[in-house]
Structure formats: C-alpha cells, structure tokens
Amino acid sequence: MINFSSESLMKARKTIKAKVLELRKGKEELLKREYENFQRYLRGDKSAPLYSATRQQADRLLRRLGERFNPNKEYPVILRKDVYRADTKLTPYWLKIPIYGVKGGINVPIKTHELITDEIVCREAKIIRKGDEWLVYITVEKEVSERNPKSVLAIDLGIRWVATTVNSNNPKPKFYGKELRRVKGHYFWLRRTLALKKAYKAIKKIGHKERRVVNYILHKISKAIVKEALANDSLIIIGDLKGIRRNGRGRAFNRKLNNGFPYHRLSQFIEYKARWHGMKVVRVSERNTSKTCHKCGHKGLRVGSLFKCLDYGHSCNADYNGAMNILKRAMGYMPMVGAALTQPRTRYGEGLSPEEPRIPWLQPWECQSRTIPEPI
C-alpha cells in the first residue's frame, strides 16, 4: 500500500459556464456598446469609451497576447470579482457589469450549469457573444484537502485508444476514447473534400464544430478517469509525450499525431478535475514504454495494437503494455513523506546491463510462466 503521512491544503480552480438570461432592451444595448468598445480598444482605438477597470483588463490582455493578437477575432470582455448571489424568482446568480458613463453599471441575471456553493470563491468572469446569446465563463476557486493516495492510476496516451489506464490495485486495463479517432478521421476527410472544392468558409465552420465535439468527448473521458481514481483513492500518473512529435513512425502516424490529437488538452482536463477533488497528477516520461515488455523489460516489437516480446514470445495489447510500464516506472516517483520525487533506474536511463531484470523482483523466466488474461 502506498501512503502519504502528511496532509495539506491546496487551491483548486476551474471554469463554470453560465448564460445571460433574457435582458430588457436598455440593458442589452448598454452591454452591446461596452462589448464593442472593448473590441475597438483592443484593435488600437484608444478613444473608445470604456470603464477604467475594463480598460486595464484590455491592456493586460494585449500584453499577454503580444504578437499572437488577431484583429479579426472577438475577445471576451474580462471582468473582476463581479458575480454575486441574489435569490430571486428568476435566478439565484447575478453578474454586475461595469459600464462607461453608467453609475453602478448594470446587473444581469445568469444561469450557471452547476451550483456555486458557499466554499467556492468567484474570481474573474469573461463575457463573450455567440450569435444572439451572451455567455459568461466564471473562474472559481476553493481550498481542498490533499488526499492521501493508497494506490496509483497510470495513464498511457495513444492514438488507437486516446487513454488506457491500469491501477496498482487491479491490473485489469480500461480503454477510453476509441470514438475520438473516428471523429478526427471524419473531420480530416471532410476538410480535404471541402478544400478540393475551395469551400474555405465551410472549412472554418466545421473546424469550430470539430473542436466542440472533441472537447465534449475529452470531458467525458477525463471525468471517467478521475471517477476511477476517486473510487480507488489513487494518485494519477500521466505519461509525458514530450518529444513524440519528433519521432514519428510513418506518414499516416505523423498525420494523425500532428493533426491535432489533443493529448495536452486531455491532460489539462484530467489535472483540473483531479485537483478539484484534492488529487495530485504527476507526469512521468513515456520514453521507451511502448518498446519494452512490461514483464521482463526486454525490447519488443509493436505491430498495430499488438505488442510482442522478442526474447520470450509474450504478447499483449500494446496500449496495456505501455500503461503497465508507466505504472512500474511511476513507483519510483512516489514522494515518501515529503522527499523529492525520484526516477527509478531503467535500462535506458542508468545503464542496466542487458542481463539485469528491469524490475528486480520479476525474473525473466516469469515472462513465460505467468499467464494474466489481457485484452487483444
């Protein structure tokens, strides 16, 4: 059993989405005016009348964006701590929007997609216009107790399955996100077809739709993984794919990898969801985890979804093999009562001899004798 003896508090943040409910004509005109003046100011019109605090937020945004600023894009109006609770028949939550020339600004009713409880503190809010609707993205924060993990959940990121998990309590793997590969392939084909017809506006439009669909899938996957970690009281370990784009394995692989497979976004979703429940997420290198047998540590061969150990003939699902290697590597990263994280010796890291088993307690002959049912 893995145990942390110390307990501490940490701050967790996330974004809550809200919608501005139907406004009276006067309020809507004032909101529209302030929003458009904000866009004018960002594009260089310093004479655009803006409330002083909103002007300061616009200057900060410009400094942060730098050369990445896109004059053809609408940016959200950034507000300070202006969300408050007011129990009314219409809604319990309201947003105070400062307006240039209007004392006290305007108060608009908003409907959030989840409750804002008493222990949650509202930070900044961002207002953006989507067609005829006004949406609000509220950054919220709360203090949570850091959990004391008793197991490890290792996550291998891939293309066939965007995430494969194994837990130290139970080696049976779970596979997530097969539909993501189908969705990405569909939109790639659609963009290529539209490009031949030179329908560039349609390509831009489906790009927005693809992002929404992909984000929905990623949120489902990250929620399920965090739920799995909560059920097993686990520390989450994610394989770090740094450098993988430089080591492609063919044209088709590189196209899928560089065509926006959203590993970083999925990792971010997992991290903030886990942190909200007091769980830490640690990244470990995925270097060579797909090339070595998780049972004996010897080099193997991956063909499609199958991994085969060249020395002992053992075969298993390739993503499962990678996840098991990450799990075993992660054990050396576990902090012991505040000690620094350390990486275990590996055949590739600290020069183990070819005859020395990668996992000391697992002898090479066990690669043949042990039989564990694994998915193909």
| 4 in a structural domain | no
> 30 and 100: one domain?
yes
- Number of structural domains the chain divides into: 2
SS (H, E, C) the chain: CCCCCCCCEEEEEEEEEEEECCCCHHHHHHHHHHHHHHHHHHCCCCCCCCCHHHHHHHHHHHHHHHHHCCCCCCCCEEECCCEEECCCCCCCEEEEEEECCEEEEEEEEEEECCCCCCCCEEEEEEEEEECCEEEEEEEEEEEEECCCCCEEEEEEECCCCCEEEEECCEEEEEEECHHHHHHHHHHHHHHHHHHHCCCHHHHHHHHHHHHHHHHHHHHHHHHHHHHHHHHHCEEEEEEECCCHHHCCCCHHHHHHHHCCCCHHHHHHHHHHHHHHCCCCEEEEECCCCCCECCCCCCEEEEECCEEEECCCCCEEEHHHHHHHHHHHHHHHHCCCCCCCCCCCCCCCCCCCCCCCCCCCCCCCCHHHHCCCCCCC
| 2 in a structural domain | no
pLDDT at 244: 53
175: nearest Cα among 12, 345, 305: 305
Crossing angle of helices 251-258 and 178-196, in 10° steps, is 100
Residues whose CB is less than 8 angstroms from the CB of residue 79 and which lie 6 or more positions away in sequence, other chains included: 53, 54, 57, 95, 97, 98, 124, 125, 126, 127
> 238 and 125: one domain?
no
The domain boundary residue, chosen from 107, 124, 144:
144
> What CA–CA distance (Å, rounded) separates 201 from 229?
42
Crossing angle of helices 200-232 and 263-276, in 10° steps, is 40
> What CA–CA distance (Å, rounded) separates 302 from 158?
13
CA geometry: angle 368, 373, 376, nearest 5 deg:
100
> 44 and 162: one domain?
no
Instruction: Enter the tokens of residue 96.
Output: 């105070």
| 140 in a structural domain | yes
pLDDT at 334: 58
> 333 and 278: one domain?
yes
Strand partners, 6: none
| 8 in a structural domain | no
As to burial, measured by CB atoms within 10 angstroms (0-12 exposed, 13-18 middle, 19+ buried), residue 276 is middle
> 219 and 174: one domain?
yes
Residue 92: domain span: 13-144
Instruction: Enter the tokens of residue 127.
Output: 């207002």
The domain boundary residue, chosen from 129, 144, 159:
144
Cβ atoms of 20 and 133 within 8 Å: the answer is yes
> 132 and 203: one domain?
no
| 376 in a structural domain | no
| 188 in a structural domain | yes
Cβ atoms of 235 and 153 within 8 Å: the answer is yes
| 5 in a structural domain | no
Q: Which amino acid is at 48?
A: A
> 136 and 261: one domain?
no
10-residue mean pLDDT series, the chain (376 residues): 59 92 92 95 94 93 93 90 78 90 92 88 91 92 89 88 89 87 86 83 82 91 94 89 55 50 88 92 83 81 82 82 86 46 39 36 34 38
Cβ atoms of 240 and 343 within 8 Å: the answer is no
Instruction: Enter the tokens of residue 283.
Output: 């990244």
The domain boundary residue, chosen from 80, 115, 144:
144
Q: Which amino acid is at 139?
A: T
> 277 and 348: one domain?
yes
> 312 and 280: one domain?
yes
> 46 and 195: one domain?
no
pLDDT at 345: 40
pLDDT at 260: 56
CA geometry: angle 33, 38, 42, nearest 5 deg:
150
> 246 and 119: one domain?
no
> 202 and 312: one domain?
yes
| 257 in a structural domain | yes
